[in-house]
Amino acid sequence: MNQVFPAPRLTDPAGFGRVAVLMGGTSAEREVSLASGGNVLEALRARGVDAHAVDGIPALVSALVEKRFDRVFNILHGNKGGGEDGVLQGLCEALGVPVTGSGVLGSALAMDKIRSKQVWLALGLPTPRYVRLAKGAAVHDAARELGLPVIVKPACEGSSVGITRVFDESGLDDAVALAARYPGELLMEQLVTGGEYTVGVLGEIALPSIRIVPAGEYYDYHAKYQADDTQYLCPGLRGDDELAMRELALAAFRAVGCRGWGRVDVMRDADGNNWLLEVNTAPGMTSHSLVPKAAREMGLPFEDLCWRVLETSLADGEGSHA
C-alpha cells in the first residue's frame, strides 16, 4: 500500500496563530492526557508554533471568551470532562474557533461504542456481537445469549478503563460493578480470540497497522501506558491482509463521521477475520502511543506528525503548499 503524505498546507508557523493545547481535564483519562499534551506542546514549540497549555474545558472557555487563542489542538482524552464526546467540538463550533480532529457528530458517535457498532452493522462492517446493558439488565441472560467468554465495559470510556474479560458466569457481577463506576451505558461484547491491532488515520491516509503483543495475557492499562515490555510490530500484517485491514479501518472511521485524525482498534481472529472494536478521535501521544509509531514507519517524525494534526484545524482552502 504505497501511500505518500501530501505537502504540508502551511510552512510558516505564524499561520496557525496562537494555539491552545487542550489537555488534562476531569475524565478518567486525565493522566494520559497530561502526558500526551506535554509531548504535543513541546513538539509544536520546537517547530515555532505559538502554543500554550490549557488544562480542561472550563479554563478553555474563559480563554476563548477573552479571545486569547486562534485555534485549539485537542489532546483531551475521554468524555465527561474529556474532549472526545462532542461537547468540546460543539463549544468551539459555537464560538467559531477551529479545533483539530473530528466534529460534533463524529466525536460523539466514536465515543459511544454502542452507537458506533449500530452504524457499522447497518453498513455491513464487521464488529463482534454485543448486548447493551441498561440499568437493571439481566446480565447472566445476556451472557448466555452471546456465549461466554465475553467482555464487559463502559460504553463511553477509553484507555481500557473499566474493562473485564469474563470466562464464567461467576465473574459477571463483579465485571458489571466495575464498569458501572463510570458514566453512561454498559456494553457486553463477544470476546474475540486472536491478534490485537490498531490502525492510525491521518487525513485521507490509513497508517500502517500495528500488531500489539503484550508480555502479559492482555493489552490492559498497564501494558498500554506503563510497561516497557509490550511489543509493537509495524506493519502488523503484510500484502493483501495489510491492505484489507487498512481499508476496513478507513471505512469504519468515515462511517461514524470522523475526520482529521484518529485511530481504529481491530481484532483479528484465528481464521483471519477482522473485527472492529472502536474509534479514538484524540489518540494518545505518549511515549507508548501507537499513532506516532505508525507515522514514523511512514517517515513522519513526531514533530511533523503534530504539525499535520494541527493542520486538521484549518478550513478547506486555508493554508498554502508554498
Active-site residue identified among 29, 84, 157, 242: 29
For 112, phi then psi, to 5°, come to -100, 105
Residue 292 to residue 286: CA distance in whole angstroms: 9
Give catalytic status of residue 289 as yes or no. Answer: yes
Q: Identify the active-site residue in 33, 102, 107, 159.
A: 159
Residue 209 main-chain phi, psi, to 5 deg: -65, 155
The response to whether 55 counts as a known ligand-binding position is no
Side chain identity, residue 32: V
Separation of first and last alpha carbons in the chain: 28
Catalytic residue (one of 33, 107, 116, 289) = 289
Residue 274 marked as a ligand binder: no
Q: Using CA atoms, how far apart are residues 229 and 261, in angstroms rounded to an integer?
A: 27
Q: Is 29 a catalytic residue?
A: yes
Nearest CA to 285 out of 30, 24, 23, 40 is that of: 40
- Which residues partner with 197 through β-bridges? 211, 266
* 278 is an annotated ligand-binding site residue: yes
Residues 6+ apart with CB under 8 A from 152: 133, 139, 163, 164, 166, 172, 175, 176, 178, 179, 186, 187, 188
- Residues catalogued as catalytic: 29, 159, 289
Give binding residues for Mg(2+) as ranges.
265, 278, 280
